Structure 1
Amino acid sequence: MNGVVLAGTASGVGKTVATLATLRAVEAAGRSVQPAKAGPDFIDPSHHAAVADRPSRTLDPWLQGEGGLRRNYARGEGDVCVVEGMMGLYDGSAASTAGVAAALDLPVVLVVDASAGMESVGATALGFATYADRTPHDVDVAGVIAQRAHGGRHEDGIRDALPDELDYCGRIPPREDLEIPDRHLGLHMGEEVPLDEAALDAAAETLRTERLLDIAREPTPPATESAFARDDDRDDSPRIAVADDAAFRFVYPATRERLRERATVVQFAPAAGDDLPPCDGVYLPGGYPELHAAALADGPALGSVADAAAEGTPVLGECGGLMALAESLTTVDGESHEMAGVLPASVEMRERYQALDHVELRARRDALTAGGGDRLRGHEFHYSAADVDDDARFAFDVERGTGIDGDREGLTEHRTLGTYCHVHSESGAFDAFLDEAGR
């Protein structure tokens, strides 16, 4: 599957809109398209899926390792993979768009904000292309998309300013209906505020699709087998209840795939009033429980999760799942709602984010997702803070990141684990969870 990486000069230059327009343009050219996202983000991929009608692949060498990154790319389906970068091309101490492009040996098309420049767009692009020589990554910057650029003289000036080695791949027009509203944690989800289709079609028409398709190429080296690649007998596999609704929506596609490979997955919607179905294990992903705290408190599911946890059912809560497993959740408006009460902590939403980083944890002892002494890599991004009881037990020490209190992560009680850290299936954490649920 040929691929191309759309990288920004910085955050906020319009990478997501450029990616969505490119996805639409590739489909309009009669090619099937696979979206992907560099980095650990959950929100931008939801917009990709809304346009491409297939899950967006997560590509992050910190979460997955380079082998896992290549495996996740290879699991995609389509003629062309369009990868949206994270932040600016070279930004990121643990993982970067440049690192993803280099690991896959994919060409980069630079998305440049051209709203107030012409010749400067060429200078910016040339600087990014030559800066690759100062990095450890072999990055091939092959072209430019001019974001927020008008046609006519504006477009001609940008195209003429580009050096011969950089292709002009078209523009995205400046339109208010191509702006995606945001909130804490980032943009609104794709299913909440999809872009106007007519506006997206118009943006796709201003791209040079054939040039983009010519630039795209096959990745190298090829994918390898995972150390965790084994399929259990479905007749003996555990039954895992996975929360899936507006409050719990941050799940990587590869995680869903791994759970379905090794378990019978039953979905339920706690915020919509569903009760916990019969199961051998419970997975509460991240999401926005703070926006649905009243519904969660009033519904039956959290009480049933608490009962199951007390009976020894393995329960894994990630970020929003940790919040739901706590004793209480207080919103930014000061309203406090009773949660499951499994973990000895009170959680409060804050106006500013409390953690944003790639994370590395070391297990203090055997835990639900890792053996004693094992290291797990993941990602944290949250606006809440947890006030934990003095006798709280932690599963991990923080080697990198913030964790729950700066030094420790992973509240544990019974066979329940609640953590701010999102992990990927390539880490083996979900295999460990499923092994525990199958006992």
Structure 2
Amino acid sequence: MKNSILILLVFISISSGLLFSLILGYCMWFIKPNLNTMPGIQIYDMSYKATLDDIFPLFALVCYRKNAAHLPVLVIMHEYTEINDRYSLMETAKRFAEKDFFVIVPDMRGRGRYAERNLVQYNINSLSVPSLLKRIILKIYSGISSRGIFIKPSSGKSDSSGKEIHDIYDAVEFVKKNYNEIVDGSNINIIGYSGGGGNVLAAITKSPDYFNVAVSYFGISDYKSWYEATNSADIKHQLISDLGGTPNEVPDKYQIRNFIEAAGNNESTMIFLFVDEEDRLTPKWQSEAFHSKSAKSKLYLSRRQDPIRYMHGRPSQVPDIIESENAFVLRMKQSSPKKEPTDRVFLANGFLYYKNITVLFGSGDDSMFKVKWIEEGNSERIIPSVLTGKSEGVVILHDAGEYNVCVYENQKEALEATTLDKHKLAFKIKSDKEYKITRLK
């Protein structure tokens, strides 16, 4: 009798083990890195090169509705710490693609080492199995998989809203050239969360009026004060690693990451700022200070008694964030009217990207300067004046392959160009001199 019971128990154990293995095997097959899980939505990785310093490859996730055309472009920026990348916001990308946007989710430099796990996490969440089994599957997968086998990370090293911000424009320009039958290249929008919100504030100040609508959820407008106020050892470690030291050790690096004074660079971009009064990770004054200097921004500050709270987190974690999207989605689909050329003065943090021209001093990551920009028909005159950092810089013309270009210093001396590639020319410049750039077909 005892032997019969023992045999029965062994049989049940083996059968249960085989059944569990079959279920687990099916789940593991289903959740392996796979992007083809969204009916009606086209989604895949896109690779491109940084035009500022030729870093390659950089990766971005693109996501859009199949058989669509003339879609407004929406750039979505991931959060700050290194575990976040282009796959962290898969659900958000899918949701906006279903709202008829062409979505681009670029990695910041060096990110994507956890992309495989983030994608698997997304696929696990789509399984119709108990939550305990989901956790077990993710634990097993994390234990047996090596990062970067199936999904490669972006090249380079992150620099916390420094030169890597230029990669955002490169991703958009790549899409405009290679998906021109699908996108409306005149309507570019951007949205970001936490560190991604900081990327948004950096991008709109470094490239005035490039974006139609910009949305920052609990974004960082001043990295020095953020470093000094945070209690997070991970954030401080990331900042020190990215910038090369503390605010006392590399003050210029932190100074050019204060975007508050440059908030007035935009005349056309509509800016939406969301934050909660009790946010401890990115305090509300980061958004309030930027709003105080920007005539084109709207501040949405939620308070304890409000029915809707903009709590720090991803949209998939905070339903109120999804609810708040009603404030700007329709505006994103309406392109800003074209403005007549006017004389402008910009405050540039590290570099300035305007009219497909990049102006930078020093390394592009350690100098602050002003630029007077005057448009005259097919010519533009720029007068840079360095405030901090090196007085030698460079002008990069990104569309030089489409024109015959002449650059004159102080309206008389033609500058010799350095050919960077078939589309790109560079000219050396100095502070407090005038440069006239003429493009002729």
Between structure 1 and structure 2, the one with the greater Rg is 2
TM category, shorter: under 0.3
TM-score, normalising length from structure 1? Answer: 0.27
TM-score, normalising length from structure 2? Answer: 0.27
